Amino acid sequence: MRILIQGAAVIKRPEEGVIPQADVVVEGRRFAGIFAPGGAGGDFDKVVPGEGKLLVPGFVNAHTHLPMTLFRGLAEGLPLQEWLEQKIWPAERKLTGEIVYWFSLLGLAEMIRTGTTAFADMYFFMEEVSRAVEEAGLRALLSYGVIAPTPDRIEPELKRAESFVREWHGAAEGRIRCAISPHAPYTCGPEVWKEAVRLAKEFKIPVHTHISETKREVEEHRERHGRSPVQWLEELGVFAVPVLAAHCVWVDEKDIDILAAHNVSVAHCPSSNLKLASGIAPAWAMLQGGVNVAIGTDGAASNNALDMIWETRLAALLAKVRAEDPQAMPPPEALRSATQRGAQALGWGRDLGVIEEGYLADCVLLDLGAPHFAPGHDPLADLVYTACGADVEMVMVGGEILMEGRELLTLDEEKVLARCRELARKFR
């Protein structure tokens, strides 16, 4: 299959700005070249018209919980503990594989519509999530979330995590990869972490976890262990394998040095951190300190959208007030965090995240026709500060088109919406 995306403005790499007009060729799963308009020779199986549009690397959502789309808008306005104890946990006990499958499809539909091509997810019923991902056509790093508050839970939980990796790592022609996910330092003890590292080494996969999301959690950890969660994990040897750490809201300078020294990737989740009043992560300080900061939406229960374009804008704006510097996280840096740094966080850094010959063809075409893109002094700034998910018109993952003309091609959207609305009733 040879595809020509013709005459769009192109952002190959955010740090290089915008090419006003180019022809991009896709062969099989990869980009085969970028040419001056009319400069790509040969025949094409398909031509995607790009004039008046902007082609960008696909957005990478570095941290989410897809099945939680079921809980979007459920029990808003309760304090965190009541919300968990009275609403989310009882609701989670009612989950079934079927429910998870359908709400994963719903989340995937929203992600495709808003330009996400790859994501990292950790939850339960991950076999059903994987089935949904396989059908929808996205790229994903998936893991079973290990929660072992008591010793008897350790072995069964880790077995479950391992068997998921054995079954699904490398599936969907390589679009699905697996991680190993101790949920957090406060829900998993040293035994779990050590075994997780052993598994990560055995399968050559990353660890995906939550670190230092709330102030209270970090204070309690310091009281119990005499050091921060980041220091504690370093001493346990966890950072000897690639780690994707969601949140990192409450990290200090020493923590940042440790994260940078071990090439830990951080999934910055600004909406969720605001909504739960957790705080504002020092994303710009982490980037300046050499940490690979990606961006994630977290689950729809605490965002409530799965829209990376919204999330990128929020990250770019918040960084400025957090760093007290209007020049912090300028548009190209925000976009890098939302694309190539996300690809690196998911373990695809070497061949994903930019539009260049040889890289996997994950990309998104945005219609620049809306008034918010005019007058167009700086399309990259417009993308970061004024675009919205609905501007996305075409989405491609590994050379396969998942949406064209805002029409989903891999999912029966009406059926997914109808099924989810029906299944949701018993949770109200």
**Contact set for a copy of itself, span 275-334 (CB under 8 A):** 275-280, 300, 303-307, 310, 313-314, 317-318, 320-321, 323-328, 330-331
Cβ–Cβ < 8 Å for 173, 138: no
Q: How far is the CB of 251 from a copy of itself (least distance, A)?
A: 16
Site for a copy of itself in 242-261 (CB under 8 A): none
> Exposed, middle or buried, 398 (CB in 10 Å: 0-12/13-18/19+)?
buried
6 binds a copy of itself (CB under 8 A): no
Q: CB nearer to a copy of itself: give 352 or 383.
A: 383
Q: How far is the CB of 223 from a copy of itself (least distance, A)?
A: 20
The CB-of-208 to a copy of itself minimum distance in angstroms stands at 24
**CB 371 → a copy of itself: shortest distance, Å?**
4
Looking only at residues 404 through 423 of this chain, which bind a copy of itself when binding is defined by CB under 8 A?
Answer: 413, 416-417, 420-421, 423
Compare residues 48 and 249 and give the one whose CB is closer to a copy of itself. 249
Closest distance to a copy of itself from the beta carbon of 42 (Å): 34
* Cβ-contact 211, 237 below 8 angstroms: no
Q: Which is nearer to a copy of itself, 191 or 325 (CB)?
A: 325
Considering the rule CB under 8 A, would residue 352 count as an interface residue with a copy of itself? no
Tell me whether residue 47 or residue 321 sits nearer to a copy of itself (CB atom): 321
Closest distance of CB 150 from a copy of itself, Å: 28
- Using the contact rule CB under 8 A, the part of the chain among 2-10, 43-51, 107-115, 221-229 near a copy of itself is 107-115
Q: Please, which residue, 233 or 323, has the CB nearer to a copy of itself?
A: 323
Tokens read off for 247 = 């949140």
Q: How far is the CB of 273 from a copy of itself (least distance, A)?
A: 7
Q: Is 59 helix (H, G, I), strand (E, B) or coil?
A: strand
- Give the span between the Cα atoms of 122 and 164, in whole angstroms: 12
Distances in Å between the Cα of 65 and the Cα atoms of 32, 103, 121, 195, 211 are 34, 10, 5, 23, 16
Check binding of 391 to a copy of itself (CB under 8 A).
yes
In angstroms, how far is CA 280 from the centroid of its own chain? 18
Q: How far is the CB of 180 from a copy of itself (least distance, A)?
A: 30
* CB-nearer residue toward a copy of itself: 214 or 265: 214
Q: Is 80 in the site for a copy of itself (CB under 8 A)?
A: yes
Contact between 20 and a copy of itself per CB under 8 A = no
Residue of 41, 42, 77, 226 that binds a copy of itself (CB under 8 A): 77
CA–CA gap between residue 285 and residue 323 (Å, rounded): 7
Q: Which residues contact 85 (CB under 8 A, 6 or more apart)?
A: none
Name the minimum Å distance from CB 33 to a copy of itself.
29
**Smallest distance, a copy of itself to C-beta of residue 290, A:** 21
User: Which residues from 353-382 bind a copy of itself, rule CB under 8 A?
Assistant: 369-372, 374-379, 381-382
Distance CA 253, CA 182 (A): 24
Q: Please say whether the beta carbons of 228 and 219 come within 8 A.
A: no
Which CB sits closer to a copy of itself, 315 or 401? 315
* Integer Cα distance of 77 and 391 in angstroms: 31
Q: What gap in Å lies between CA 269 and CA 282, rounded to an integer?
A: 11
**Which residues, numbered 187-246, are part of the site for a copy of itself (CB under 8 A)?**
none
CB atoms within 10 A of CB 36: 10
Q: Which of 29, 63, 72, 208 binds a copy of itself (CB under 8 A)?
A: 72
CA quadruple 424, 388, 415, 422: dihedral, nearest 10: 10
Write out the binding residues for a copy of itself, residues 151-170 only, by CB under 8 A: none
> Is 273 among the residues that bind a copy of itself (CB under 8 A)?
yes
CA 406 to chain centroid, in Å, comes to 21
User: For a copy of itself, which stretch binds (CB under 8 A), given 6-14, 55-63, 66-74, 347-355?
Assistant: 66-74
DSSP assignments along 367-417, one per residue: E--SGGG-S-S-HHHHHHHT--GGGEEEEEETTEEEEETTEESSS-HHHHH
Minimum distance between the CB of residue 18 and a copy of itself, rounded to whole angstroms?
A: 11
What is the CB neighbour count within 10 angstroms for residue 164? 22
Half-sphere exposure of 297 (CA within 13 A, CB side): 32
With DSSP H G I counted as helix, E B as strand and the rest as coil, what are the percentages for the chain, rounded to 5?
Answer: 45, 25, 35
